[in-house]
Amino acid sequence: MKVRGFILQASYRVVTEPDGRRVPVVHLYGRLEDGGTFLVRDDRQRPHFYIRADQAAAARAVGAPEPEPSDKRTFGGLPVCRVAVETPPDVPGLRDRLQAAGIDTFEADVRFAVRYLIERGIKGGCEIEGDGVPGTGIAWVFDNPTLRPAAVDVEPRVLSFDIETDGKGERLLAISLYGPGVDEVLIVDGGDRPMPERATRCKDELAAFDAFTDRIRRLDPDVLTGWNTVDFDLTALQRIATRLRHPFNLGREPGPLRIRKAEGYFGSGQATIPGRLVLDGIDLLRGAFVRMDDYSLDAVAREVLGEGKAVAGEVRDRIHEIMHNYEHDLPAFALYARTDARLAYEIVRKLDLVRLAFARSRLTGMTPDRVAASIASFDFLYLTELERRRLVTPTVRSDDASVHAAQQGGHVLEPVTGLHRHVWVFDFKSLYPSIIRTFNIDPVAYVAEPSPGADLIETPGGRFRREPAILPSMLDELFPRREAAKKAGDDVAANAIKILMNSFYGVLGTPACRFHNPALANSITGLGRHLLQWSKQWFEAAGFRVLYGDTDSLFVLSGIDDPETARARGPELAASLNDELARYIGERWRVPSRLELKFEKLYLKLFLPRVRHGTGGARKRYAGLLHGGGADSVEFVGMEVVRRDWTALAKEVQRELYQRLFSDRSVNEYLADVVKRVRRGDLDEALVYRKNLRKDTGEYTATTPPHVVAARKMTQPPGRLISYVMTTAGPEPLDNVQHPLDREHYVVKQVKPVAEPVLATLGLDFERVIGDSRQLDMYALLGAE
């Protein structure tokens, strides 16, 4: 039997044989191309790692099993031997003993099931050849088949679910489900109340668990999703199931739900269900680098779908409203529960987040629930290539992440402050990946101690061999694949490749990565600075003024009065620079240039502000009016309008002021009117601050920022994002506002800071524009916060 499928989950189980031997069995769950499901079980793989061959005797002396011969070598060319153990849990203890004895280990931290896939070169898709037998809950089970890599694309079945509990999360009220052909809610109700549309009565919590697990089994989803699914829904269900002594089997095979708690304040938990993926909507959103001011379901749904939760009250009253509806208005309660599951599903579907996770899995080899782990993804890719080259790499030790070395960042040119007309913006296309390709920057190609007269590529951070290396070869393949995906309109595939390529530099610069080397990171950033400066000098030699530059972009004053002429000239200049740059790189380094400067856009007007309370230019902050985008097409970068920790008032005022500045309209009357409305209380809804806690509130000891003060006053346990207002008694959370708003604070701390750069450009003074300098000067003198 020969079939093709896509791996959803890779794990292992340890089985005790009749003779007492403990045998690890790789378990690969997945979907077949024909829509069926499969399980591959393989007991032939042995857990192993490597040591240097010249340390084999020393390893035996500290109790290691007899090392086995190997044809692999270290990066330095030294032969290694293989150390195999009985089960994967035996590895860490032996590894630590060897390392404590001064014996170097290699790849002793690679996960057992991941090693199985790496050695076979399998990235998501695979061809399975062997004897398959029908399974229970799984279409086909294969024991010890032959696996080969294959290009496989499947459409996973996705189901969203959401639970409702009492305020303490201890009693289950309802479970809602939403997906293709599914829109229902299971309501726990021991009475005889009539059930609303699409609602099913469950006489008690136990019945609700039975109904839920039965629905999962019949619908057979590949992916379970929702919002805060792991840290709340599944965690609460597991806790309640334990109380009820319910087996709570959600998998395709019998087996417990395993939840790994979040690590660190910003971490997210992970859930493992045999044969199914759990992809939390919040994690998918963050993993795809979709930035939101507020990651709550209501806020994201309003931003992405244009609708929010089905409740009428404010945030602070929602728990009370939900409990009231559960007891007195079941139709409203059922609609609320079903809406939550539907919104989570529709967000994930509209943004193609599950498809993106699967596309990234096909690229990196990581299962879809782990593609956001950039270091692990890089590991999988690079180790797969090392396997082909028969090379091994050092083990990542737990203390390696604390190693730090000086690393240089991207170069930023000093801004020429003020308002400028007809400014070109040029960007290097994928600068850091292009530098890696051009200069062969790679862990294998790096030469720490070159031989005299060696023909190497010299960079600011180190020297590299000229023979084609692993990373440049990967990128040589990825660049055209991304272009092909873009031309085909496959935005998901193009985005997956972009995320992967852009991760390479960051991973190499991270001490927790096994391939971390400051020389590599500094070579990339050093060449980036050199190329930015070279390009600046090229434009200046051509008679143009460079107003600003940041890492991979240059802002150049065109000096052309007609915007259409300026727009047409931009691409011509980019082409000329690329030709000259290719000649320069070829002559100096004797390598073909992969660098490409692109004309990105034309700003009809560009404002580069001064640094606040200083005279120099503010870096990474500007506002520009785009050519061809209409009067309202103002772009903001680094300004308050795009930052979460400024109020909606400040953002709206800033947006309006720059639109007026760029369209030569007066700002005086508008600004004076805004201040009057703030003081009258007309804009109170726009005065809310939102800021993330970086740690638990009790850990703030040296200083206590306003959002921490507010968090400590909340009536409910605080989440990560704290919403608060400034009152006459200081910061207070939205769910516990006890004092009048300090509106003058908002005039001084929100309106004035965003207005002053525009007013200074126009030669105006804030206090005079709003007409009461005495009062504001006195307020500032008192240092009111």
CATH code matching the domain that covers 645-781, chosen among 1.10.287.90, 1.10.10.10, 1.10.132.60, 1.25.40.10: 1.10.132.60
- Percent of the chain that is helix, strand, coil (3-state, to 5): 40, 25, 35
Of the ranges 447-456, 533-542, 630-639, which is most confident?
A: 533-542
CATH class of 2-149: alpha beta
Among 251-265, 378-392, 423-437, 461-475, which is the least confidently predicted range?
A: 251-265
Please, which residues have CB within 8 angstroms of residue 392's CB and are 6 or more apart in sequence?
Answer: 50, 72, 73, 74, 80, 106, 107, 386
Phi, psi of 14 (to 5 degrees): -100, 125
pLDDT digits (tens, 9 = 90+) for 363-403: 999 999 999 888 899 999 999 999 999 999 999 875 443 33
d(CA 23, CA 721): 47
Q: What pLDDT is recorded for position 168? A: 82
Per-residue pLDDT band for 778 (boundaries 50, 70, 90) equals very low
pLDDT reading at 713 higher than 70: yes
Q: What pLDDT is recorded for position 289? A: 86
Q: Which amino acid is at 501?
A: M
What pTM value is reported for the model?
0.87
Domain 412-608: what homologous superfamily?
Answer: B family DNA polymerase, palm domain (3.90.1600.10)
pLDDT reading at 311 higher than 70: no
pLDDT digits (tens, 9 = 90+) for 225-247: 999 999 999 999 999 999 999 99
Secondary structure element (H or E) that encloses residue 367, with its range = none
2-149 and 645-781, same CATH topology: no
Residue ranges per structural domain of the chain: 2-149, 158-364, 412-608, 645-781
Are 419 and 606 in contact, with CB atoms under 8 Å apart?
yes
Are 51 and 83 in contact, with CB atoms under 8 Å apart?
yes
What DSSP letter does each residue of 220-258 carry, written as one string? Answer: --SEEEESSIIIIIIHHHHHHHHHHT-----SSSS---E
Which has the closest alpha carbon to 119: 386, 297, 479?
386
Share of the chain above pLDDT 70, in %: 94
pLDDT digits (tens, 9 = 90+) for 533-550: 999 999 999 999 999 999
Q: What pLDDT is recorded for position 628? A: 84
Per-residue pLDDT band for 267 (boundaries 50, 70, 90) equals low
Please, which residues have CB within 8 angstroms of residue 32's CB and are 6 or more apart in sequence?
Answer: 3, 4, 5, 38, 139, 140, 154
In CATH, the number for domain 158-364 is: 3.30.420.10
For tokens 């690969």, name the residue. 28
Distance (Å) of CA 390 to CA 59, 70, 71, 72, 112:
22, 9, 7, 5, 18
Return the beta strands (E) in 261-372 as ranges. Answer: 270-272, 277-280
In this prediction, residues 658-662 reach a mean pLDDT of 93
Structure tokens at 502: 């852009």
Q: What pLDDT is recorded for position 263? A: 61
Share of the chain above pLDDT 90, in %: 77
Are 518 and 511 in contact, with CB atoms under 8 Å apart?
no
Per-residue pLDDT band for 612 (boundaries 50, 70, 90) equals confident
Secondary structure element (H or E) that encloses residue 368, with its range = none
SS3 150: coil
pLDDT digits (tens, 9 = 90+) for 327-355: 999 999 999 999 999 999 999 999 999 99
Q: What pLDDT is recorded for position 312? A: 59
Per-residue pLDDT band for 703 (boundaries 50, 70, 90) equals confident
Q: Which residues partner with 273 through β-bridges?
A: 276
Per-residue pLDDT band for 694 (boundaries 50, 70, 90) equals confident
In this prediction, residues 628-653 reach a mean pLDDT of 86
In this prediction, residues 628-635 reach a mean pLDDT of 78
Q: What pLDDT is recorded for position 269? A: 77
